[in-house]
């Protein structure tokens, strides 16, 4: 049974999903079945079925919990492949008796909500997933305790917008409340990280809670998407850059050693040279530790898709390159400042005479690594002295 979890968020992700499906379809043996699952399967099931005639089933994000019965049906009728279209409302894990986490070694992603109630002009996620639905706190705590019992050392809390957590359940300051209960429920998990905070919604209470509990990592991820108010308004995003400057200053003051991450989109419709220069200046000024940069692509069905996609691809690419070059000098400075320090590192893998791990400053899969000489026992926290640094990664020695 071959299941491809497709991504339908942006064009390059769709191209990668299609290429993977096509590769598998070409080498399919008579006993194998091929299923397209995930976001793109939710968004364009008919298109996928047309593009890949060998597909046996398409199942979208809103029907993810039906994957087991679907596989059973396909296995039971090998001579008559089924085609089940994506359908249904978003189901939370507890509604279908499934865990809401994904585990890799001693690190886990724990879902606290799904869907998004905002309407950023460029974003297809609300079209794919629908409005935000928060998981009840007891269900999240139950998952966290199960992860603690399995020896997990790092919990990464995820949602499309973590700062929106609990609004749909009638909670104010839902994320702060959840975090307070979480640290009490899982005292043996030393690293708890919050990802994807929406600008404008990092409240004073949330910062107080982050500052009060050593388990909550001083790592804040605020995807800003742009830094010119006119572009942000066109994006239907918060345009109060004064809030961003004040909040970054407060975070740096209240959370010593905080690592700040953000992402930007370049080449949004109508982005002028001057607007892009404002973004570059802002990146220099704020000196985030980590920056991701994406090239705008028009996503069908979004508000921005109705605007002329008027920035030539080569200009978008040049802007992305300029942004990354500016950021690389800043990231390198931040990494070099760690040389000589001793930091706890989560050791995650060993081989070829090396061990790789991460400090609290690096979220799994998106940030950098620490490379350590020798092959050491993994899935534990160890003290490592940082001896050298590059733009993205650190080199260290086990103490
Ligand atoms: S907050 Fe994030 S997921 Fe929600 S619409 Fe905006 S970009 Fe998309």
CB 379 within 8 A of CB 106: yes
Closest by Cα among 26, 1, 6 to 16:
6
C-beta of 115 in contact with ligand 1 (< 6 A):
no
C-beta of 302 in contact with ligand 1 (< 6 A):
no
Query: Which has more confidence, 314 or 39?
Result: 314
Strand spans (E) along 82-210: 101-104, 107-111, 113-114, 133-134, 154-158, 191-194
Helix (H, G, I), strand (E, B) or coil at 282: helix
Q: What is the pLDDT of residues 192-230, one digit of tens each?
A: 999 999 999 999 999 999 999 999 999 999 999 999 999
Residues 6+ apart with CB under 8 A from 206: 163, 173, 175, 176, 179
Q: What is the pLDDT of residues 180-202, one digit of tens each?
A: 999 999 999 999 999 999 999 99
Q: State the chain's mean pLDDT as an integer.
A: 93
The model's pTM: 0.89
Give the residue whose CA is nearest to atom 1 of ligand 1.
118
Tell which phi-psi region holds residue 177, choosing left (phi > 0), alpha (psi between -120 and 50) or beta.
Answer: alpha
C-beta of 238 in contact with ligand 1 (< 6 A):
no
C-beta of 275 in contact with ligand 1 (< 6 A):
no
- Quick check: 254 pLDDT over 70? yes
CATH 3.80.30.20, applies to 93-336: yes
Mutate to test the pocket of ligand 1, among 13, 118, 238 (most ligand atoms within 8 A of CB): 118
- What is the per-residue pLDDT for 83? 58
- What is the per-residue pLDDT for 89? 55
> Angle, nearest 10°, between helix axes 204-212 and 241-254?
20
Q: Tokens 């070694």 label which residue? A: 105
Angle in degrees, CA 199, 202, 204, rounded to 5: 145
Lowest mean pLDDT among 36-40, 194-198, 353-357: 36-40
C-beta of 118 in contact with ligand 1 (< 6 A):
yes
**Alpha carbon of 10 to ligand 1 centroid (Å):** 13
Q: Which atom of ligand 1 is nearest to the CA of 117?
A: 4
CATH 3.20.20.70, applies to 342-398: no
Q: What is the pLDDT of residues 85-141, one digit of tens each?
A: 545 556 677 776 778 899 999 999 999 999 999 999 999 999 888 899 999 999 999
- What is the per-residue pLDDT for 307? 95
C-beta of 198 in contact with ligand 1 (< 6 A):
yes
DSSP state for residue 298 in the 8-state scheme: P
73, exposed or middle or buried, with CB in 10 Å at 0-12, 13-18, 19+? middle
**Alpha carbon of 127 to ligand 1 centroid (Å):** 10
**Alpha carbon of 279 to ligand 1 centroid (Å):** 20
Domain spans of the chain?
A: 2-84, 93-336, 342-398
- What is the per-residue pLDDT for 59? 86
- What is the per-residue pLDDT for 38? 87
CB 163 within 8 A of CB 147: no
Tokens (6 digits) for 128: 């794919």
C-beta of 116 in contact with ligand 1 (< 6 A):
yes
**Alpha carbon of 123 to ligand 1 centroid (Å):** 6
Assign a CATH topology to domain 2-84: Rossmann fold (3.40.50)
Lowest mean pLDDT among 70-74, 101-105, 123-127, 357-361: 70-74
């Amino acid at each position: 049974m071959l299941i491809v979890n497709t991504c339908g968020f942006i064009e390059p992700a769709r191209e990668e999903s299609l290429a993977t499906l096509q590769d598998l379809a070409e080498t399919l043996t008579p006993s194998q079945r091929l299923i397209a699952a995930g976001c793109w399967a939710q968004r364009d099931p008919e298109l996928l079925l047309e593009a890949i005639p060998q597909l046996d089933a398409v199942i979208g994000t809103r029907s993810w919990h039906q994957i087991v019965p679907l596989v059973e049906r396909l296995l039971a009728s090998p001579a008559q492949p089924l085609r089940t279209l994506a359908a249904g409302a978003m189901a939370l894990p507890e509604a279908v008796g499934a865990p809401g986490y994904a585990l890799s070694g001693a690190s886990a992603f724990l879902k606290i909500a799904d869907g998004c109630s905002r309407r950023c002009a460029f974003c297809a996620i609300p079209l794919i997933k629908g409005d935000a639905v928060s998981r009840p706190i007891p269900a999240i705590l139950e998952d966290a305790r199960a992860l603690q019992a399995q020896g997990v050392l790092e919990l990464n809390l995820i949602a499309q917008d973590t700062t929106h957590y609990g609004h749909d359940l009638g909670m104010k300051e839902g994320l702060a409340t959840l975090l307070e209960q979480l640290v009490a429920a899982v005292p043996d998990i030393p690293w708890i990280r919050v990802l994807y905070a929406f600008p404008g919604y990092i409240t004073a209470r949330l910062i107080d809670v982050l500052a009060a509990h050593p388990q909550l990592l001083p790592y804040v991820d605020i995807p800003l998407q742009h830094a010119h108010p006119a572009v942000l308004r066109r994006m239907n995003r918060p345009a109060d850059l004064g809030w961003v400057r004040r909040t970054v200053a407060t975070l740096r003051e209240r959370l010593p050693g905080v690592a700040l991450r953000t992402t930007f989109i370049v080449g949004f419709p109508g982005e002028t040279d001057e607007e892009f220069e404002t973004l570059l200046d802002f990146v220099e000024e704020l000196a985030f530790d980590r920056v991701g940069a994406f090239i705008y692509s028009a996503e069908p069905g979004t508000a921005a898709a109705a605007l002329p996609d008027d920035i030539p691809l080569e200009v978008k690419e040049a802007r992305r390159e300029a942004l990354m070059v500016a950021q690389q000098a800043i990231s390198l400075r931040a990494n070099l400042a760690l040389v000589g320090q001793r930091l706890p590192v989560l050791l995650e893998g060993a081989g070829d005479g090396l061990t790789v791990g991460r400090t609290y400053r690096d979220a799994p899969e998106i940030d950098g690594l620490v490379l350590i000489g020798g092959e050491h026992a993994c899935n534990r926290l160890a003290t490592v002295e940082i001896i050298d640094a590059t733009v993205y990664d650190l080199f260290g020695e086990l103490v």
